[in-house]
Amino acid sequence: MFSPKWSILVADMNLILCLKLPCFFLLITLFSKASAINVTYESDRINLLPGQPSNPLISHFSGYITVNENHGRALFYWFFEAQSEPSKKPLLLWLNGGPGCSSIGYGAVVEIGPLLVNENGEGLHFNNYSWNQEANLLFVESPVGIGFSYTNTTSDFPTILEDHFVAEDAYNFLANWLQRFPQFKSRDFFISGESYAGHYIPQLAELIFDRNKDTNRYPFINLKGFIAGNPETDDYYDNKGLLEYAWSHAVISDEQYDKAKQVCDFKQFYWSDECNHAMDQVFQDYREIDIYNIYAPICRLNSTSSIADDNNSNDPESFVKGRKNYRLRRMRIFGGYDPCYSNYAEKYFNRKDVQSSFHADTERATKVTWKVCDDSILRTYNFSVSSVLPIYSKLTKGGLKIWIYSGDADGRVPVIGTRYCVEALGLRLKSSWRTWYHHNQVGGRIVEYEGLTYVTVRGAGHLVPLNKPSEALSIIHAFLTAHTLGS
């Protein structure tokens, strides 16, 4: 699909049509335009990353897409062709949350990409459950300031970052990326991701949905739907669910639960001091385990003395008064079968040979350490949107295909809160709550509404594709192909 022969084939077809016409100059123009397009994305092709297995062959690209020329703002991407029939497969964008976490550091090399980081960050291995079996797979480090993405305007970062700003940049990224890869302009397009991308995903989808109505001003993007995993959706329901999950899964005592219920009004944007104190006590009990997967071991790399000390020293989101600071604590991701994967990714992407092969701006990279999650973004992000449920209501009526899935061992954005969110939409029930099976075992539960499908994944935490890669692949297959999940 990306072979230089593509340009020649285009020209050959026009040559046949022009045999009886003086079209020499037309052919020259066609060759020039085709070559220019070819060179644009071919210059981003990755030959071989350090430690990348040579077999199977993987066609992938990376580089920068400018999203604001006046400010010199550019987002970094990593793109994988589908493993088979890439010219027929849809385009799938993956976003991670945080806010401030890299989709390359998590989604690409820990969860769904074809190349996963090895233990200790010394190389890569092939992922047998990569989602690029089902789609052409695109990752972007968003918002600006994450990973290799950058801005030349200091006022852009990090003080003005908020949901609408991020959505606008993501839209500009996508529109400009499609200019660089024009063969995907008419392809079916879907958005996916997890955690605080539960905001990013529907907000980007809404922006595309609205602007597609005005093709005189905006390019048409063939958006078909989106799928969100363990998504932050609505503050009230998510927070209510977090507390109830901690109690129902024996993390906190009856007394703690009763106290928090008594003093906390999760409908209020700013919590009382009493509520902040009560919720701090909830998190104190969570510090001894991995809140992102309550049944998984915690990462003990660089451990010093006690578990509590380790968690305190590694947790940048220490509690101070105010609801905003509580939300910062809730979004940081460390879960998984091996909770040290973020350490491995950081070691790998801070290697200069990796950055050079990866087309990263190595001059900038030497000044800033690449991180899976950027604490400064996490601390200063302006949480201006408390709920994206109105967007869900709008887009379900707009005909988009929408799925939500939840790992049921996640304590941060637990299944209880997400069920509240889905039920609050008041959608007409299409198919009742039932079991779906995977390899003759219970994979989870599924319920279908008019315009939305909700799936749970048994035994998975916050990062479902990491904990249950085979089940996650089955979910994305069913989502993209309309096949029945578990069939």
Amino acid at site 440: N
Question: Alpha-carbon dihedral of residues 254, 259, 262, 266, nearest 10 degrees?
Answer: -90
Using alpha carbons, select from 468, 177, 68 the residue that is nearest to residue 296: 468
Cβ pair 14, 24 in contact under 8 A: no
Q: Active site includes 195?
A: yes
* Secondary structure letter of residue 3 according to DSSP: S
Options 156, 235, 238, 410, the catalytic residue: 410
Using alpha carbons, select from 298, 338, 346, 343 the residue that is nearest to residue 467: 338
* Residue carrying structure tokens 């922006």: 207
**Helices (DSSP H) in 415-468: which residue ranges?**
415-424, 464-467
Options 195, 342, 406, 474, the catalytic residue: 195
Q: Active site includes 410?
A: yes
First-to-final CA distance of the chain? 32
Helices (H) and strands (E) in the chain, counts: 17, 12
Residue 223 backbone dihedrals phi, psi, to 5 degrees? -70, 130
Provide, for the chain, the percentages of residues in helix, strand and coil under a 3-state DSSP scheme, each rounded to the nearest 5: 40, 20, 40
By three-state DSSP, how is residue 190 classified?
strand
Using alpha carbons, select from 436, 438, 431 the residue that is nearest to residue 473: 438
Q: Which residues pair with 438 in a beta bridge?
A: 441
Options 60, 199, 359, 462, the catalytic residue: 462
List, as one string, the DSSP characters of 201-245. HHHHHHHHHHHTT-TTTS----EEEEEEES---BHHHHHHHHHHH
Using alpha carbons, select from 238, 248, 317, 239 the residue that is nearest to residue 279: 239
Q: Active site includes 290?
A: no
Q: Residue 320, by phi and psi: left (phi above 0), alpha (psi -120 to 50) or beta?
A: beta
User: How is residue 265 written in tokens?
Assistant: 């009004």
Active site residues: 195, 410, 462
